[in-house]
Amino acid sequence: MQQIILKNLGKISYQKAWDLQQELLTEVIGIKRENRDKETNKTPQKHYFLYCEHPHVYTLGRSGSIDNLLLSESQLAEKGIEFYKINRGGDITYHGPGQIVGYPILDLDYFFTDIHRYVRYIEEAVIRTLAEYDIEGTRIEGMSGVWLKADATRPDRKICAIGIHLSRWVTMHGFAFNIQTDLQYFNYIIPCGITNKTVTSLEKELGKKVALEEVREKLNKHFSDLFGFKLV
């Protein structure tokens, strides 16, 4: 069973978290290159799972459109929101306080080399976590992330966004799960470039506060079960 080094970074700027991801990605790829040339006494591979919260920030994926950001530079500065163009897949999304952000740095050669399966497993861990709160999470064909189905008064709404990047089958970036998130910040973007759906949070759906640590513990169990790894 692969051991995954779990790090809870707490509240951290997006740039610092991105720099750390790049540093760990480089480390994992470096071990992979060394081991490729060794016949015996291979160095054990390292894998990481980072949790954090970010100050208000919008990130635009490599396939996204800047038109989905509805604020000017001066408006972003006025509201204290950062903006980054980054190398993950997907369009624009928001990160902020009260959100569980997860960045797995995994060498998929030790699990499975299937990007779609990897994304489905992240979705499934969130879906199973929602089920523990009697909420039915679902998928929408052609759209990554976890959604709640439309009802009589509300459209389909996203509760968890996913955007990843792979290099030599090593992952970075990950998911953003809305728990106590201030949803008004999604009003300043077209989330993921989708105009006919909306966003939600666990707190909004339950009508009460839920501790982030409680949700993280449930996520850890489901990630461990799905991937067959041990978080240490």
Q: What is the pLDDT of residues 39-85, one digit of tens each?
A: 666 889 999 999 999 999 999 998 889 999 999 999 999 999 999 99
Predicted local confidence at residue 39, as pLDDT: 67
Examine residue 55 and state whether it is found in any structural domain, yes or no. Answer: yes
Examine residue 63 and state whether it is found in any structural domain, yes or no. Answer: yes
Predicted local confidence at residue 40, as pLDDT: 65
Work out the pLDDT band at 106, boundaries 50, 70, 90. Answer: very high
| 121-139 per-position pLDDT tens digit | 999 999 999 999 999 999 9
Q: 5: how many CB neighbours lie within 10 A of its CB?
A: 13
Between residues 219 and 192, the one the model is more confident about: 219
pLDDT exceeds cutoff 70 at 119: yes
Mean pLDDT of 2-29: 98
Predicted local confidence at residue 37, as pLDDT: 81
- Provide the token pair at 217: 């513990």
Range with lowest mean pLDDT among 71-75, 111-115, 189-193, 223-227: 189-193
Say what angle helices 115-131 and 212-227 make with each other, to 10 degrees.
130
pLDDT exceeds cutoff 90 at 90: no
Examine residue 167 and state whether it is found in any structural domain, yes or no. Answer: yes
Q: Percentage of the chain with pLDDT > 90?
A: 86
Catalytic residue selected from 50, 192, 202, 219: 192
pLDDT exceeds cutoff 80 at 193: no
- Provide the token pair at 141: 């064909």
Examine residue 232 and state whether it is found in any structural domain, yes or no. Answer: no
- DSSP assignment of the chain equals --EEEEEEEEE--HHHHHHHHHHHHHHHHHHHHHHHT-SSSPPPP--EEEEEE-SSEEEE-TT--GGGB-S-HHHHHHHT-EEEE-SSSSSEEEE-TTEEEEEEE-BGGGT---HHHHHHHHHHHHHHHHHTTT---EEETTEEEEEE---SS---EEEEEEEEEEETTEEEEEEEEESS--GGGGGGB-GGG-SS-EE--HHHHHTS---HHHHHHHHHHHHHHHHT-EE-
Predicted local confidence at residue 14, as pLDDT: 98
pLDDT exceeds cutoff 90 at 20: yes
Burial class (CB in 10 A: 0-12, 13-18, 19+), 127: buried
Examine residue 69 and state whether it is found in any structural domain, yes or no. Answer: yes
**What whole-number distance in Å separates Cα of residue 5 and Cα of residue 28?**
12
Predicted local confidence at residue 64, as pLDDT: 87
Examine residue 73 and state whether it is found in any structural domain, yes or no. Answer: yes
Q: What is the count of structural domains for the chain? A: 1
Query: Is 192 considered catalytic here?
Result: yes
Work out the pLDDT band at 93, boundaries 50, 70, 90. Answer: very high
Predicted local confidence at residue 190, as pLDDT: 85
Domain boundaries, position 132: 3-223
Predicted local confidence at residue 31, as pLDDT: 95
Query: Cα 57 from chain centroid?
Result: 14
Examine residue 228 and state whether it is found in any structural domain, yes or no. Answer: no
| Average confidence score pLDDT of the chain | 94
Predicted local confidence at residue 121, as pLDDT: 98
Question: Residue 185's domain is classified under what CATH number?
Answer: 3.30.930.10
pTM of the model: 0.95
Examine residue 231 and state whether it is found in any structural domain, yes or no. Answer: no
